[in-house]
Amino acid sequence: QQQVKQSPQSLIVQKGGISIINCAYENTAFDYFPWYQQFPGKGPALLIAIRPDVSEKKEGRFTISFNKSAKQFSLHIMDSQPGDSATYFCAASMMQDSNYQLIWGAGTKLIIKP
């Protein structure tokens, strides 16, 4: 119930195309859903995040779509660029027994072909 399932494991998209990464969760106690971008040899950087009271959040070329009833959320990267090539992690967080839990997906390696 603590898992966050992320797919696909890897993704190749042509420059200018739309990259879509999906995540699913089971525990309805999760109340915050961030996406992190990580370049090789670097720490993850917060990209965009959403709370379950909204169905979509857009920041520039990055959009999170959130489906509360299906317990799914996805990251859409519009007009994908070679500089977007990185590993993307979805995550979900909640408070449990006064402890903050941040549960990570397994990651998606995104390659944008020029």
What residues line the site for other proteins (CB under 8 A)?
32, 34, 36, 41-46, 49, 89, 93, 95, 98-100, 102, 104-107
Return the number of the residue (72 or 101) whose C-beta is nearest other proteins: 101
CB of 95 to other proteins, least distance (A): 6
Return the number of the residue (20 or 103) whose C-beta is nearest other proteins: 103
Question: CA-to-CA distance for 24 and 13, rounded, in angstroms?
Answer: 22
CB of 79 to other proteins, least distance (A): 26
The angle subtended at Cα 96 by Cα 92 and Cα 102, nearest 5°, is 25
Question: CA-to-CA distance for 22 and 65, rounded, in angstroms?
Answer: 9
CB of 104 to other proteins, least distance (A): 4
Return the number of the residue (12 or 46) whose C-beta is nearest other proteins: 46
Residue given tokens 């979805």 in the structure block: 90
* Amino acid present at 16: G
CB of 87 to other proteins, least distance (A): 9
Return the number of the residue (18 or 45) whose C-beta is nearest other proteins: 45
Backbone angle region of 45, left / alpha / beta, with phi > 0 → left and psi within -120 to 50 → alpha: beta
Question: CA-to-CA distance for 78 and 96, rounded, in angstroms?
Answer: 35
